[in-house]
Amino acid sequence: MNKINNSIKACYINCTLKKSPNPSHTEGLMHLSMDIMDRLGVYYDYFRFVDYNVPPGVQKDMTDHGYRSDGFIKIKKSILDADILIIGTPIWLGEKSSECVKLIERLYGLSGMTNEKGQYLYYGKVGGCIITGNEDGAKHVAMSTLYALQHIGYTIPPQADAAWLGEVGPGPSYLDEESGAKDNSFTNRNITFMTYNLLHLASMLKGNNGLPNLGNNAEAWTEGERWEFKKNRN
């Protein structure tokens, strides 16, 4: 149980606003985590979300709602296959990118579905996030991103976010040599702890076949099951 289960799969999604092949600072930081996965022999997919022309919306398939194609279909498959989801995003004006919000809306569009145990679809999976910005906003972005993930069913391990930020005000970005960002020991430690914690918790959940469905079976609740819950009598 103390070992990392390397049948685990991860899915990394980079929500930069810049299409390929423009360099992405966020991708630069995400590589540190993917490299650890490589060395541990853990399989992962990587997507740059903006390259996939994903329509906005909260429906399962947006081609039913006026869009000619829906690039989320392919990404969705990887997300649902994976045990770990890691969302990367830049910060603009102190917030996660609009591509990141769109990704969360699309994830949310599937969140009413249930697994074979009657639990919401993302139960048993774990989530984290990686953030880059010039100067401010990493915790704000992380709190909102991790909240969304736990809300739809992901488990969040300790210290599940890692970020790089420079001093307040305009300045070099993560990949710019003059930022010295690659030597930031705090960022490097956090991305290491995040990656291992995601793997430990995913291994633990996989070894237990996810969370038991006592007390969290959405289908059973709908049918009237209440387990040890009783309404407030006061």
Residues of span 84-123 touching a copy of itself by CB under 8 A: 92-99, 101-102, 104-105, 108, 120, 122-123
Write down the least CB distance from residue 81 to a copy of itself, Å. Answer: 19
Site for a copy of itself in 148-177 (CB under 8 A): 148, 150-161, 163-170, 175
Alpha helices by DSSP H, 41-108: 72-81, 98-108
- CA neighbor of 137 nearest in space, from 76, 93, 74: 93
Instruction: Round to whole Å and give the CA distance between 206 and 215.
Output: 19
H or E element in which residue 47 lies: strand 43-48
State which of residues 43, 44, 46, 196 lies at the interface with a copy of itself (CB under 8 A).
196
Does residue 2 belong to the site contacting a copy of itself (CB under 8 A)?
Answer: yes
Nearer to a copy of itself, 45 or 135 (CB): 135
What residues contact 163, with CB distance under 8 A and at least 6 apart? 29, 130, 131, 132, 133, 138, 139, 141, 142, 187, 190
Scan residues 130-149 and list those touching a copy of itself (CB under 8 A).
135-140, 142-144, 146-148
145, 181 Cβ separation under 8 angstroms: no
Nearer to a copy of itself, 80 or 211 (CB): 211
The answer to whether residue 230 forms part of the interface with a copy of itself (CB under 8 A) is yes
Of the two residues 116 and 169, which places its CB atom closer to a copy of itself in the complex?
Answer: 169
Q: Which of 1, 68, 178, 223 binds a copy of itself (CB under 8 A)?
A: 1
185 burial class (0-12, 13-18, 19+ CB within 10 angstroms)? exposed
Q: Which of 136, 131, 142 is nearest to 93 (CA)?
A: 136
Give the nearer residue to a copy of itself in terms of CB position, either 11 or 27: 27
Nearest to 57, CA basis, from 121, 103, 111: 103
The reply on whether position 188 binds a copy of itself by CB under 8 A is yes
Site string for a copy of itself, 36-75 (x = CB under 8 A): x--xx---------x-----xxx------xx---------
